[in-house]
Amino acid sequence: MSKSWFKFDGIMVWVTLTGALLVGLSIVVFALLESKIVDQAGAQNRQVAFVRIAEFIGDMIGKTGGIRDLTKLQEVIYDVRDVRSGIKRLSVFELTPETSSLILSTDPRTVPRTLGLRERTEVEAGRSVMQLDESSTERGWRITAPITIDGKVIGALRGFFSVKEYDDLIKQEIELGKTVGISVVLVTSLMFVLLIRIKIHRPVQQLLVAMRNVEAGDLSGDVSIPSPVEIREVTAQFNRMLACVRIAGLEKDRLLVEIRHFNETLQKRVADATEELQQANLELVEARLAVERNQRLAALGELSATVAHELGNPLNALSGHLQMLAQAGHLSNSQRHLAVIRSEVDRMVGIIRQILDQTCVPLRSAPVNLNNAIHEVLSLLSSGLPRQRITLMLDLQTDLPPVAGDQRALHGLLFNLATNAVQAMPHGGELTIRTRSI
């Protein structure tokens, strides 16, 4: 296995980190929702259970000497507290038309002498009240339920349900979720790396090897690379270019044979030919070779320009997004990595621009819809304009007739104009694009 297998490029790192971030966020959101649902369900169950306890105490009071039978009442509430481990405090209040007074409590030092107005109102209406109490050292629910005898509210039962066991369980689930989440993120990142390596990096490396072979003079066969459709299209274009080069080479050889035969025949017929005529023949050979060489270079130049143009605009857009990420202020631990990625992307963009500048490709004039070309360029730039505080204003003539020009060259011109305009407004502004028929 070659060392290049472990080498990450900028695009691979970006895609891998994005996938890992999405998976991690999904796991965190799921864990938070689960803990919230468990907490709510537990609170509802506690309220229902406490209402049943209040009903039980009401039945016991009805069978004994009433709510003022403190001995029996104390025995009942202590038994309830001991049976239900989650209940830390139980208090009984007697309700009269004038007031609600505390008559018995397992912890009288922490319980008020009377019920609050809201609690008294709800209890008198036959409804229970539940509130989350976080004021003490132990978080829990304070529940107040009516005590009824024969349908009449005679008192209220207040209890404190500790949720420490539930909190500990939720913490354990969160820790388990963190472990599982980290494992899933690592596995997902590895899968992203393998997928990109197999589907993108390996086919591109094979295509580069084929190009180097052609550069070394090996024109023996076409290139066949199983890869995504975009790379297959580039490979097909390379094979077509290679076929043209082979045909040109055969034609060159045929011409050389004909020229040699012509020279030999000429030398036999005119043995006394002058040196000037011989020089003319040699110049003719060199001219034909130069034509064939220029044809090959033109074919290679067209392919280079096509690849550079197709990769240049996405790399410019990627560089702009990386710049926005670096300026966002939320990636303090990744600033250095973003700077390295952006530097490498800018270097690739510079190389592609040098290729475009040095490649002379004949323009192919055809009718071009200028408005569509503008929309295609803006689709690459519009996502970053709000972050740069730039407002985009479009005033495009709907019935604008097509213009004659080269689609690729016009697209590159519009992209450069828009990019220069955005860079000229570092503090924001308004970018207006208008088309008119003159």
Q: What is the 3-state secondary structure (H, E, C) of 414-432?
A: HHHHHHHHHHCCCCCEEEE
Question: 113: pLDDT confidence band, cut at 50, 70 and 90?
Answer: confident
- Structure confidence by residue, pLDDT tens digits, 146-168: 888 877 888 888 888 776 666 66
291's tokens: 């034509």
Buried-exposed string 368-377: b where 16+ CB fall within 10 A, e elsewhere: bebbebbeeb
Angle formed at CA 422 by CA 406 and CA 366, multiple of 5 degrees:
10
Contact 218, 29 (CB under 8 A): no
Structure confidence by residue, pLDDT tens digits, 61-96: 655 656 777 777 777 777 777 666 667 778 888 888
Q: What is the pLDDT of residues 413-426, one digit of tens each?
A: 888 888 888 888 88
Residue 30 sits at φ, ψ, to 5 deg, of -60, -45
Domains 8-169 and 363-438 share a fold: no
Quote the CA–CA distance of 406 and 414 in Å, as a whole number.
12
Amino acid at 49: A
3-state SS class at 104: strand
CATH tag, 363-438: 3.30.565.10
pTM: 0.33
**Weakest mean pLDDT among 71-85, 206-220, 274-288:** 274-288
Structural domain boundaries in the chain: 8-169, 247-357, 363-438
End-to-end CA distance of the chain: 62
101 bridge partner residues: 94, 114
Q: 8-169 has which CATH code?
A: 3.30.450.20
Burial of 47 (0-12, 13-18, 19+ CB in 10 A): middle
Rounded to whole angstroms, the Cα distance separating 233 from 352 reads 19
Query: pLDDT at position 340, please?
Result: 65
Beta strand pairing call for 152-162 and 87-95: antiparallel
The β-bridge relationship of strands 429-435 and 390-396 is parallel
